[in-house]
Amino acid sequence: MAIQLVVFTLNEEEYGLDVSAVNGILRSKKFKIQSMPGVAKTIAGMINLRGQVNYIFNLRAKFGLPDEELAEESKLIMLNVNQSNSGCIVDEVTDIVKLNDEDIQPQPAFVSRSSDNYIQGIGKLQDRLIIILDPEKLLAVEELPLMATAG
């Protein structure tokens, strides 16, 4: 079975998210991400999207990457996970690609054993490698209760 991925870059690495989990892409500079006190660093804040509160995750913090200011090109990928609309900041959305099953390698065993194994697999696109992320696990469990109450 083929899968379609929204491909984005973060810290010059390529990641992919299943298109069916993606609600849409926003330009971060069009929104004010309002920070919230007392929440984990992995949550950048919240935005008002068409009258709805949407929580924005900071993937850099989650992936342990060096923190950086929002760039001109930065995008928000809005995801539909756990019955809640939330999104994450990425450097740039580069492509939407279709990958066949033979081009996808399942997650390595050392990842599967760790607690927050949000890597679903590795996609091969010519000589590029795309880390396919699991949208459900990406927005980790420990953060969800807060979102549920806020939602």
Partner 1 sequence: MAEYNGAKNKQDKKIVTHGMDISNLKLVDIIDIDFLQQFQDDFAKGVGLASVTVDISGTPVTKPSSYTRFCEHYTHSTECGDKRCAESHRKGGEEAARTGKPVVYECHAGLIDFAAPIMIEGRLIGTILGGQVLTDLPDEAKYRRIAGEIGVDPDGYVEAVKEVSKLSKERIESAANVLFIVANNMSKMAYQQRKLQAVSNILNDSLHQISATMEQLAASAMTVSSNQANLNTEIGNVNTVTGKINEVMDFIKDIADETRLLGLNAAIEAARAGEAGLGFGVVAQEIRNLSADSKQTVGKIKELTDSIKSSVDKTVGMGNETMMTVEQQAAAIQEITASVEEITGLTEQLSELANAL
Contacting residues toward partner 1, per CB under 8 A: 4, 6, 19-20, 22-27, 73, 75, 93, 96
Number of Cβ atoms within 10 Å of the Cβ of 91 = 20
CB 24 to partner 1: min, Å: 5
Structure-token match 């069916």, residue found: 20
CB 79 to partner 1: min, Å: 11
**28/120 with CB nearer partner 1:** 28
As a three-state string, the secondary structure of 80-131 is: EECCEEEEEEECEEEEEEEECHHHEEECCHHHHCCCCCCEEEEEEECCEEEE
**3/119 with CB nearer partner 1:** 3
CB 125 to partner 1: min, Å: 16
